[in-house]
Amino acid sequence: MLALKDISLNTTTTLSRAIQYLFLLFLILSGLYFTAGILMPVALAGILAMLFLPFSRWLEQKGINRTVGAVICIVLLLLTIGLLVFLFSWRVSNLQANVEQIERQVRQYTGQLQQLISEQFGVSKQQQEQLLKKQGSSGAGNAAGIIVSFASGILGSLTTAVLVLIYVFLFISARKHFRNFILKLVKPADEAKTTRIIKEASGAAQNYVSGLAKMILCLWVMYGIGFSVVGVQNAFFFAILCGTLEIVPFVGNVTGTTLTVLMALAQGGGGGMVLSVLVTYGLVQFIQSYILQPLVVGKDVDINPFFSIFVLVLGEALWGIGGMVLAIPLLGMLKIVFDHIETLKPYGYLIGNGDEKKQDKPLTAKIKSWFKR
């Protein structure tokens, strides 16, 4: 009888502890959701600051003051963003020259779609046009609201961008202060271990972001060659678009390729060109997944595929597109923390790909060293 009471007590304690953990998880996720506008710029700035840390340290070794080095990093970041904006705006201006041709093709395909709907569902073209006009008139009444929302969105984006730049500057210039704060939270005996965790976590974020940038450059070249061979107009623009959207894993490259397919249809390419675009996409994705991903990005953020997808969905639900961009590097850093804390090691193992680590072949290691220089 006493043993049954002990079992019942242990079961109740375990269940109570599980409920507490679930409630804590709910509070954390709720806090992340409702503070997205506050925490997302901080998280993005933290990742960018880690990316610029090696360059900042190199400047300091050359005798440049840390604050001045942080300013140089900000200027370099602005120049990079400005270059990307220039490339996109340059190609968009070329796209505008073909607007009339694209509009004619869109009207042609719209007419074919209306004819198909009329034949299959019995909805005449006049009825379809009336429905479209009705939707347009209802939208016109909200034109002022749409303009105000658009202006508010632009203003909010600019404010967020300024905050990110300020946070990056502060993270780089005052990084020693933040590091000492973290060390003060642990026991003196654990300071060496904590320092190692900080170093590995920041190194993983640096390698992931820098490797992602190198991979995007490779994708620009491959998509540019592929789309040019296929005959897509403004192939370089769509190559940059597809490559840059790789920042958002899984979703970005599909979105970019869909836009390229729509462009191929709009310019009258037909099914052959669409199929060629899809073949180009499949070939590039194969090279990316089996060559570029392991060689350029590496296994510094070694996340199980299930959790890679899950954390992307969770990141989008909590922080939108920004959450999808930050999800994998943040989870990779969290995994490193789990791997160094004894009670959390099982969770680090669960998030990762297991203990099996394949040894690089000599040729593979040599190619990988080229990208990591």
Buried b (16+ CB within 10 A) or exposed e, 326-365: bbbbbbbbbbbbbbbeeeeeeebeebbeeeeeeeeeeeee
pLDDT (average), residues 273-279: 83
What does R_g of the chain's alpha carbons equal in angstroms? 26
Q: What is the pLDDT at residue 242?
A: 82
Confidence grade of residue 144 (pLDDT, cut at 50, 70, 90): very low
Confidence grade of residue 147 (pLDDT, cut at 50, 70, 90): very low
Question: Has residue 105 been placed in a domain?
Answer: yes
> What whole-number distance in Å separates Cα of residue 102 and Cα of residue 256?
18
Q: What is the pLDDT at residue 3?
A: 53
pLDDT digits (tens, 9 = 90+) for 294-329: 666 555 566 777 887 888 888 888 888 788 888 888
Q: Which amino acid is at 108?
A: Q
pLDDT (average), residues 209-223: 83
Q: Pick the more confident residue, 127 or 317.
A: 317
Q: Pick the more confident residue, 178 or 265.
A: 178
272 pLDDT higher than 60: yes
Mean pLDDT of the chain: 75
Give the rounded percent of residues in the chain with a pLDDT score beyond 90. Answer: 2
Q: What is the pLDDT at residue 129?
A: 67
Question: Has residue 69 been placed in a domain?
Answer: yes
Confidence grade of residue 75 (pLDDT, cut at 50, 70, 90): very high
pLDDT (average), residues 77-106: 69
Q: Pick the more confident residue, 134 or 226.
A: 226
Q: Which amino acid is at 159?
A: T
Please provide the DSSP assignment of 75-125 as one string.
HHHHHHHHHHHHHHHHHHHHHHTTHHHHHHHHHHHHHHHHHHHHHHH---H
Question: Has residue 162 been placed in a domain?
Answer: yes
Contacts 24+ apart (CB under 8 A), 244-252: 244/84, 244/216, 246/212, 246/215, 246/216, 246/219, 246/288, 247/212, 247/216, 247/325, 248/321, 248/324, 248/325, 249/308, 249/312, 249/324, 249/328, 250/309, 250/312, 251/312, 251/324
CB-hemisphere CA count at 13 Å for 2? 0
126 pLDDT higher than 60: yes
Q: What is the pLDDT at residue 286?
A: 83
User: Which tokens hold the place of 165?
Assistant: 């730049």
Question: Has residue 203 been placed in a domain?
Answer: no
The count of domains in the chain is 1
Whether pTM > 0.85 for this model: the answer is: no
User: Which sign, positive or negative, has the C-alpha torsion 224, 227, 229, 234?
Assistant: negative
**49: domain range?**
38-109+153-185
Q: What is the pLDDT at residue 371?
A: 47
Question: Has residue 313 been placed in a domain?
Answer: no
User: Which tokens hold the place of 295?
Assistant: 């060689």
Q: Are 299 and 360 in contact (CB under 8 A)?
A: no
Q: Which amino acid is at 152?
A: S
Question: Has residue 255 been placed in a domain?
Answer: no
pLDDT (average), residues 123-138: 61
Question: Has residue 333 been placed in a domain?
Answer: no
Q: Pick the more confident residue, 36 or 137.
A: 36
CB-hemisphere CA count at 13 Å for 204? 20
Helix H segments across the chain?
2-34, 36-61, 66-96, 99-121, 125-140, 143-173, 175-184, 191-230, 235-244, 251-266, 270-287, 305-319, 321-340, 345-351, 362-371
Question: Has residue 88 been placed in a domain?
Answer: yes
Among candidate residues 276, 218, 274, the one with its CA nearest the CA of residue 242: 218
User: Which tokens hold the place of 320?
Assistant: 């939108």
pLDDT digits (tens, 9 = 90+) for 234-247: 778 788 888 887 77
Give the rounded percent of residues in the chain with a pLDDT score beyond 70. Answer: 68
> What whole-number distance in Å separates Cα of residue 326 and Cα of residue 164?
14
> What whole-number distance in Å separates Cα of residue 262 and Cα of residue 250?
19
